[in-house]
Amino acid sequence: LRMDSLLQRFEFVRVLDSNPQTKVVSLLGHIDSQHAIVTLEKTHFNTDDARCSCADAVQETREIAANDIYHWAVALLKQDIQTNPAAKVNVIWPATPVHVRKYSQQALHLVRESPQLYERVVAPWVKEQATPERLRWVHDILYNGAEQERVVYRDFTGAEHGNGNGKNDGFLVLPDMKWDGVSLDALYLVALVYRDDVRSLRDLRPQHREWLIALNNRIRAVVPACYNYALHADELRIFVHYPPSYYHFHIHVVNIRHPGLGDGIAAGRAVLLEDVIESLGYLGELGFMNRTLTYVMGENHELWSRGLQDAVAQQLEKDGIPKRPPVLNRES
Ligand code: M7G
């Protein structure tokens, strides 16, 4: 189904989340009696074209107030679907319960994932997650021509580093689903690797270091060239998420000016690729499998109820952190 038709058939059920800072709202509903998530994000102003002033786009105003040298009003903007769209729309349909939980507003917690906790609670879940169905979009981009016209770079030279099992070590770069493709200020790309033996940061070992260095260098060499050198290699924030939503190794490549959507670039979620490479020089032969990783986790995440909640409670107790006084309990 095309986007227009998806939106026409969308029957609204409830608001999952709404963020006044990122100007994003996520709605849950049904399309043909299956769950659908519609995410609307107001676009940023396009200041890339030096000839155009954003103020020109103001079509109509209604003054709110004025005081001394200060004036404020609400405005209607001239919009144009090609160069100046009002919003970006994402639809996930049919949405799985994992998607609904991910896009719902939820309480957050800081989790310390030791190697033992990973083995006991997280690894079995990751195994369940890395199904062909959940990763179909990745596979379709790599092998079945999905989004082909959008791929900005494809590289097979990484193959020379080998990964021991003969799999292709190449990668490709394309615009992330999070980017409207218009405003370079919000440039957001994703690099997908062909090899499928690295599910996340956890799987990285010292033998991956050279490969990651080559990857980092290729990304920094080609991305500025793909965008007419509007931004330079040192103006890209290149990072991985831990934990990721999709367990096939990929790298986020974002304009350094972009504050990130939600907590996507915040401490406790994003790890700079440079830091990953640096750490692999010290972590010993088990690499990240040997490290405690601390991150932010939402209560809706399946891992929270499958063991992380109990682990956090035990950690706090062991660390001697006083329990929340009953009077401050949310329930009371
Ligand atoms: P992540 O760190 O696993 O999860 O990154 P996150 O979504 O919580 O950040 C996966 C990245 O791939 C995200 O930045 C997604 O926006 C992006 N992405 C996800 N899907 C399903 C697609 C897709 O179909 N096409 C493209 N181009 N990007 C996608």
pLDDT of residue 318: 96
CA-closest candidate to residue 214, choices 173, 246, 171? 171
Q: CB of 236 within 8 A of CB of 255?
A: yes
Residue nearest to atom 4 of ligand 1 (CA): 245
Instruction: Give the whole-angstrom CA distance, residue 309 versus residue 216.
Output: 35
Domains of the chain: 1-43+86-95 (3.30.200.40), 53-84 (no CATH), 106-310 (3.30.428.10)
Ligand 1 pocket by C-beta < 6 Å: which residues?
Answer: 137, 147, 174-178, 190, 241, 244-246, 250, 252, 264
Q: List, by residue number, the catalytic residues.
A: 250
pLDDT attached to residue 160: 47
**Token match 């997280």: residue?**
122
pLDDT at 157: 61
Do 15 and 104 contact (CB within 8 A), yes or no? Answer: no
Query: Which pLDDT belongs to residue 158?
Result: 47
In a 13 Å sphere around the CA of 90, the CA atoms on its Cβ side amount to: 17
Mutate to test the pocket of ligand 1, among 88, 176, 237 (most ligand atoms within 8 A of CB): 176
Strand spans (E) along the chain:
11-19, 24-31, 34-42, 58-67, 70-77, 87-92, 108-113, 153-155, 171-175, 188-193, 236-241, 250-255, 270-272, 293-298
pLDDT tens digits along 45-72:
877 665 667 788 899 999 999 999 999 9
Low-confidence ranges of the chain (pLDDT < 70): 48-52, 157-168, 328-332
What pLDDT, on a 0 to 100 scale, did the predictor assign at position 96?
Answer: 95
ipTM: 0.98
The amino acid present at 195, given as its one-letter code, is R
What does the block give as tokens for 72?
Answer: 């404020």
Q: What confidence tens digit (pLDDT) does each residue in 19-37 have?
A: 998 899 999 999 999 999 9
pLDDT in tens, 250-300: 999 999 998 777 788 999 999 999 999 999 999 999 999 999 999 999 999
